[in-house]
Each structure stands twice: as C-alpha cells, then as structure tokens.
Chains A and B, each alone.
Chain A
C-alpha cells in the first residue's frame, strides 16, 4: 500500500512520531495528483505553494516539540463554495471566476488552527446545484472507479479527490444530499451533520434553511476526527447551535448490541437497483449478527420530499443568488448600457442553465398569487416530513436505507432531464428537510465494480451514535479499503 492510500489518523501518527515529515508527505501527494488528476479533474484550483509552506510550518513545530493541531500535516481538499482567504472560490460558476475571498469561512479557520494542509479547491455543480458535478462551468469530474461515470454531486470533486487519494479527507456541503450521494458513488464516507452543528459562515449560501458543511473521508474514524474539528458554535452564524461538541472517537468502538435499527418500508417499496438492494440486505444481516435489532418503520410522507425540496431550496436560492449583480464582486458584463442592462446581461452571461432554472422556479414559487400554493404548502409538508422522523425515532436508535437508488450513472445520461436528475436525491433529501444528521458509508459493489453506499440517519445532534453504528459495520467489512485502479494520465 502506498503511503497516501492510508487513513488520516495513520498518517498523522507517522508525522507526530517523526516517521515521515509533513513536507515529504505533501510532496508525495502532489506528485500523485500530477500523475492522475488529468484523468479525474477533481480540482478547480490547486494550492501547492501554500500547502508546502504550511507543511514546513508543521514540521518546525514538531521539531521544536511545540503543540500541534488535531489535523497536523493532513492534506484536506475543500469544495470550491467554501471561502478561503486569498484563494479563488468560484462555486464552479463563471459569475465568480475571479472571486478571491478576503476572509476564511469558519470551517477553514478551524482547519488552519488544527494545522491541516489545504491541497486545493474542488469541482462542484455550479453553486452546488446538481447531483453529478456535470453542471460545473469549468470541467466535468470523473468517477475514479469508472472514468465514464459521474462522481455524484454536488460535492463530486471532493468525493473523487478522496477516492483517488489526492487528499486524505475533504470538506463538502449539503443542501439535499450533496455530500452523502457523491460519497456513496465514489466509495468513501460522507457525513451531513445536524443543521446548526457546523457554522455556515463563509459557505456560499444556496438554501439557507438546509445548507450544512459536511465531511468526506476514507473511513469512519477519520470522519469523526474531522467533524470534531469543524463542529461548534460560531457567533457569525446565528443558526449554529451552542451545544458542546463531544469527542466523536472516544467510544466509537462501543458496537451496536441492543440498538434498534429502523428500516423505512417506503424507501424499500420503490424499485431500485438489484445490486443496491442486495448490498443493503447483506449489511442488515451483519448488523443483526452484531446484536442489533432490525425493525420496520414508516415514514409516510417520503414520496413528497423531492417536491417540497425543489420549492423550498429554490425559493431560498432565488433570494440568495440575487446578490450576484455585477456590483461588489465577480463578473460584470462588458460595457453595460445602464444599470438594468448591467443586471440582466451580467446574470444571463454569468449563470449556467441549471442555476437559471432554479432561480426562476424559486421566484415563481414566491411570486404574488403563487406563494400560498407553492411555498406555504411546501413548508407545511416539510413539517409533516419532520414529524415522520420524530415518530420513528421514538421507536428506533437510527434509520438505515440506501444513500442513492443506483450506483454511479454514466456521464451525460441524465444531463438533459432535470427532473430525473432531481430524483437521484430521493433518499437523501428528507434528512435535509428534517435537519437530522446522516452518514453514508461503503457497503458493497455492483456487478460492474461500482461502489454502493448505505446511509444511517439519526436524531438531531446524535452524530456520535451514528459514527459508532457506522464504525461497527466498517470494522466487520473491508469495502472501505478497496481502491479504484488509477491510471497515470498520458503526458
């Protein structure tokens, strides 16, 4: 096994014990990126010079026996909708092509404080709107397991970067499944924390009542380590929760004996891929063998979740994206003829079609005469979906279901049918609407050798229990250790 194929915790221990220097390791990682990245296209911007500077700083601290942070020397990739001071943050949009944030997002400040090394900014669907990373204005990211397939999205660049070992961990963001779904399609671990667990300060806003920063990593223990670093209260985000952040690792090996796992019958009622179905059933057998009890539950409003989501997320997006007007940052059209012409041309030239579609849908749902029929109706059904979960969690400790109804699909296969693309998120969206945490972990492979992910959902702020349940499975299996066969790109 090559060094960069190991987990973050293993590398951190090697760096702390001076078995390898952070500087040498980061150089190995960048060599690997240069060899393979041309095939995968997971990054929009690489941060090599700053990364090496930070590695030197970490090595100095270790040489001088100074205290180092929890992520000392660990290469981390960051989705390009999270603001990084003095480093391009484009949201994969032409409208922010030249944007260099004058400040760090809360989560970036935390990474830096804990001595992580930021490798680069990863590709996404423009403004995180999409499920395949095909909607980027710059490039199409490919799935490391099959270059003809999508990595999922919208955090597809971050998921692909971790799967291809370009970074040991990564940050993504979720509004409707954008961390868990690409984690599933790329065979890595992805967490969407409880709404409010992680500050959204510096995360470019999409749907503010749904958005949350999440983690991508090679295994569950690394996820626990990274989540602890980014979680916590932040005065700059008034929706961040002032609740203490536990040590997610200390009791992670407590197992699942006696825990009750809920299986939502509605999720299994619709027909989905046979390989996904089999992988899930096998996984549940493992949990039963480990002493958990599997019980049927009902989430009766599941089938309405996608409809609710596309009203609420887009209504919020239409308002959030009104700020891109060519005045304060980003693109401005060439020689506008007055202020109105500037707004129209800047936005029409700067946004891609998926973003335009969603802004228009959002404005339609909020417009006079339609507000009650769409936005108010959706907000009410959202409450019903949340109540479904409240009732379910009276009976069970967690809920297990597929993360995605299918393994990675082919590039271009769904590009011209937005509705079909939206339905890729059918299993992930309910958790965002209800604000509950979820984790996706590898649980098998399709006949074609593509990874399959299993999703574990829990009560608000019970990330610790989810990680424990996820780790119990990971310890029994080796799906997370399998690696895609990466080819060196032709020079």
Chain B
C-alpha cells in the first residue's frame, strides 16, 4: 500500500476538500490502484533526460503598454455569489 488514510486526509486538506469515512476508504483504495500503476515509471532510467514542460519553443510575449478596454465590473460581478459596493463579498477572513 502506497498511500494510507492519514495521507488521503492530508492531501484532501491540501485540496480544500472534506471527506467522510466512506469516501476516505474509497479514495484510499482507488488512489492506491492508480499509484501502483504509475510505479511503472520507476523501471525507466531517466538520469540523463531533461524534463519537458512545453512542446513548443516558448518565449516571453510582450505588448505595448497601452490602455485597452476590459470587461465592465458589473458584468464580472454578475456571476459572484455575494457582492457589496462593487466588490466580491466573503465571510470574515481574520478572526
């Protein structure tokens, strides 16, 4: 077993997801299946291989620093669950 219940709780916390006991058991089982499959990568020697993040040659993309129109604030706020005076409203952050 590569990942136990404590670790599932730990990564659920990192993910800001809460799980009940039944879900924890399910994910322990399923994540172990997947991680054991992924183990096969360790049979490859990659000491001298460079990691690849992007397929194409990427370089910085610059543009002129000029003012462009953006989406109006009221259109942006229309999807927010809660707003106040043109801002997103959230529960108290600092106790």
Residue ranges of A at the interface with B (Cβ–Cβ < 8 Å)? 98-100, 102-103, 195-196, 209, 235, 238-239, 241, 301, 303-304, 306-308, 310-311, 318, 322, 325-332, 336-339, 341-345, 347-348, 351, 353, 356-357, 359-361, 363-364, 367, 374, 376-384, 386, 418-419, 422, 434-435, 460
Contacts and interface: CB of A to CB of B under 8 A. Distances in A.
Nearest to B40: A307
Given A239-B56, A360-B11, A102 B49 contact: no
A363 B11 contact: yes
A383 B88 CA distance: 42
Contacts of A386: 52, 55
Contacts of A303: 40
Given A235-B63, A347-B15, A381-B44, A307 B37 contact: yes
A339 B93 contact: yes
A351 B12 CA distance: 13
Interface of B: 3, 7-8, 11-12, 14-19, 23, 26-27, 30-31, 33-34, 37-38, 40-42, 44, 46, 49-56, 58, 61, 63, 71, 75-76, 78-82, 88, 90-93, 95
Contacts, number: 153
Given A238-B61, A435-B56, A364 B31 contact: yes
Given A344-B16, A345-B18, A364-B11, 9 more contacts: A307-B40, A326-B81, A327-B90, A330-B79, A356-B17, A360-B15, A364-B7, A367-B11, A374-B38
A379 B38 contact: no
A348 B15 CA distance: 10
A350 to B, nearest CB: 10
Nearest to A435: B55
A53 to B, nearest CB: 21
Given A327-B90, A342-B90, A332 B41 contact: no
Contacts of B50: 380, 383
Nearest to A235: B63
A376 B51 contact: yes
Nearest to A98: B79
A329 B71 CA distance: 15
Contacts of A327: 80-81, 88, 90
A209 B14 CA distance: 22
Nearest to A374: B38
A29 B42 CA distance: 53
A260 to B, nearest CB: 23
B78 to A, nearest CB: 7
Nearest to B74: A102
Contacts of B7: 364
B79 A100 contact: yes
Contacts of B92: 338-339
Nearest to A376: B51
Given A364-B3, A364-B11, A381-B46, A328 B88 contact: yes
A310 B34 contact: yes
Contact of A360 (B17, B53, B90): B17
A102 B78 contact: yes
Which one of B30, B63, B95 has the greatest number of beta carbons of chain A within 10 Å? B30
A304 B55 contact: no
A363 B61 CA distance: 29
A100 B17 contact: no
A359 B15 contact: yes
A102 B33 contact: no
4 smallest A-B Cβ distances: which pairs? A435-B55, A379-B51, A332-B81, A329-B79
A374 B54 CA distance: 17
Contacts of B31: 357, 360-361, 364
A112 to B, nearest CB: 17
A313 B31 CA distance: 15
Contact of B49 (A322, A330, A383): A383
Contacts of B78: 100, 102
Contact of B90 (A339, A351, A382): A339
Contacts of A379: 51-53
A45 to B, nearest CB: 16
Contact of A380 (B11, B38, B46, B90): B46
A301 B80 CA distance: 46
A12 to B, nearest CB: 33
Given A338-B91, A339-B91, A209 B53 contact: yes
Nearest to A373: B42
Contacts of A301: 44
